[in-house]
Amino acid sequence: MPSFIQEALGPDQWPTLVLIATRLGGLFFSAPLWSIAGLSRSARTALVVLLSVMLLPTAPHHALSERLIDLPLPLATEFLLGVAVGLTASVLMYAVALAADVVSIQMGLSISAVLLPTMEVAEPGVGQLHGFLAVVVYLTQGGHLMLLRGLAGSLRAIPPGGLVSIDGGTAAVLNIVGSVWSGAVQVAAPIMVALLVVNVAIAILSKAVPQLNAMAFAFPVTISIGLMMVGVSLPVVARVVGRWVEALPQTIDLVTSGFTPLTGGP
């Protein structure tokens, strides 16, 4: 049996192993790919345990408090740290999904969701296409591995089980979540501008030719132009996602540096 596994199975290592697994559980809860529904709960648990054992030698050892009332706080802190690291990549997927929803509504592909919001409808094809492209770029550039490296680095910067000030980290996470809107604008901008020009042209045409049924004429035109622009804008989506993934290590460092270890223990 490898020495690091024997070390992990030692009773004195169990508290640190549990804390690392909790932080990884937060990552798997929020990060793209690791949180997909297709990954079964047993497989996700096995990955968390395996990665925790592999990361154990790199993390400072910590003994949990013997008082039961002190246990929830360090475990909750570790889970929050993992969720924060995972959100640095999740906001990218949320931005792409938001852009696709707005574009679908403007094209008329999601008109049923607007008129009947309580009706369960499948995700429009534009959202699926953008989502698949974002995932492909994310995986191709190793975004899922960047998250694991970032979490491994956070174990050294923020030792498991210690007291942590979350003020700076919470502010950094909120700033990143707010960037969902700017990312969605970058993804949807080419299509939205084209559809705006088409709608203005249809409005002018309907004024010039009152006999024209603008409603019946607008739907096929906006859908056709919109689908054409979706294809043209795919390289733009890939570039936006690529730049975001390239900046992911710096974003993770920014978030984790906001969680400041405090002196003392729980």
39 with 31: CB under 8 angstroms? no
Model confidence, pTM? 0.79
Pairwise CA distance, residues 26 & 189, whole Å: 33
Query: Which tokens go with 193?
Result: 């501008």
- Per-domain boundaries in the chain: 3-261
How confident is the model over 49-91, as pLDDT tens digits? Answer: 889 888 888 877 766 666 656 677 888 888 999 999 999 998 8
How confident is the model over 89-113, as pLDDT tens digits? Answer: 988 888 888 888 888 888 877 655 5
80 with 24: CB under 8 angstroms? no
